[in-house]
Amino acid sequence: MTIGLIREGKIPADNRVALTPTQCKWIKKRHPNVDVVVQHSPDRCFSDAEYKRAGIELVDDISHCDILLGIKEVPLKNLVPNKTYLFFSHTKKKQPHNQKLLQAILEKNITLIDYECLEHEDGQRIIGFGFFAGIVGAHNGMMAYGNRTGAYNLGRVHQHKTFRKLMHTYFGLQIPNVKIAVTGSGRVAQGISEIMNLMQIREVEKEEFLDREFSYPVYVHLKGSDLYCHKDDGSYNRMDFHHNPTTYKSLFPAYTRATDILMNGVYWDKNIPRLFEKEDVHHPDFRIQVIADVTDDTNGSVPINLGDQSIADPVYGVDKQTFEKTAPYVPGSIDVMAVGNLPNELPRDASRYFGEQLLKFVLPAVLRGNDPVIKHATIVKDGELTSEFSYLEDYAKGL
């Protein structure tokens, strides 16, 4: 088997990698029957020279490879027919901007295994950049609040090459008596909580958060049962919620009157209740000034997410009356941080973390062949939608 690490082609360029030079070297040493080659790229966070020093062959043509590993969506012109790809396709929710990508994958007889669909038996995702998305998103949210209020100043994450160096910038940081709501239970929320703790923002219980003001900065961590309840009896059952989300309602509106900063890390699709509705923003007690929408679904769990910003310009304002996009940090607006490739601000750390999960959980499943984990994550097999993803048929046909 030959594994090819492809050059990222999406614009703006993403410089994360699926495998670091050291991880590629480990594969070749541990699995002598597996070869790894790397397509030349000027943009990776690990240079061609670093792969070469690790003894990895660099190539321009990857058409001889059996499996092709990338990160972001592959441009249509770069898709190699009849190959097996692993990357984040962002098609499982019928995202309109990637409809043509799925169509091209079908037309070119490609097998697509989507990282987002790789799951453990309990439904938890196996692999992803969520932890570092949470790290960067939380930093940017706190940066935006500092810029808005003038209470403190935080620089940009990408000014620091490593997470370790970023942590040093928090020593002595004076955060005012702010109240922060962190939502979600996955890796994104874990990353957000890590930053809260590094900034010495104290976690409190939800009852305290709702009822009290504090003389120090605090955050509350809200998970599924804290955020949603059944419309009829007020109960929460995780499995039932995921199978029947339309029978549930959001409990978060109560927190909009007690929260200064919302750090959102919940998974969302069109049937899941939004955290709040646009009309809630008009309530005189709506307190939120800054939203870091780390999971970043346009008009999703955060209804005033008006779309992606770039790493270079991550924050915009939303007018509280008209809901139109404004410049950030202006009176009468809420500042929203919404960036789709947040981990790219710490690409080397994020890539190492991603590659470790890939080596531990995914590569063995690939090598075993016909593994249920891989089968479950295969959206397209040899140019045909798999049965699990047959609901994408209309989407694939352009309907």
Q: Measuring CA to CA, which residue among 91, 51, 60 is closest to residue 78?
A: 60
100 is known as an active-site residue: no
**Helix axis angle, 21-30 relative to 347-357, nearest 10°?**
20
Beta strands in the chain (DSSP E): 2-5, 35-39, 57-59, 67-69, 84-87, 111-114, 179-183, 202-203, 218-222, 228-230, 248-250, 261-264, 290-293, 315-319, 325-326, 333-337, 378-381, 384-385
Size (the chain), residues:
399
Q: Which of 189, 390, 147 is nearest to 290 (CA)?
A: 147
| Residue of 25, 90, 93, 158 marked catalytic | 90
Instruction: Specify the pairing of strand 315-319 against strand 325-326.
Output: antiparallel
Known active-site residue 40: no
Pick the closest to residue 4 from 19, 26, 15, 22 (CA basis). 19
Query: Are the C-beta atoms of 210 and 234 separated by less than 8 Å?
Result: no
Specify the 3-state DSSP secondary structure of 233: coil
**246 has binding-site annotation:** yes
β-strands 384-385, 378-381: how paired? antiparallel
- Distance between CA 245 and CA 243 in Å, rounded? 6
Determine whether the annotation assigns residue 219 to a binding site: no
| Residue pair 275/301 in contact by the 8 Å Cβ criterion | yes
Query: What is d(CA 152, CA 139) in angstroms, rounded to the nearest whole number?
Result: 13
In the 8-state DSSP scheme, what is residue 252? G
Residue 267 marked in a binding site: yes
Please give the annotated binding residues for NAD(+), written as ranges: 246, 267, 294
Active site residues: 72, 90
Please give the annotated binding residues, written as ranges: 246, 267, 294
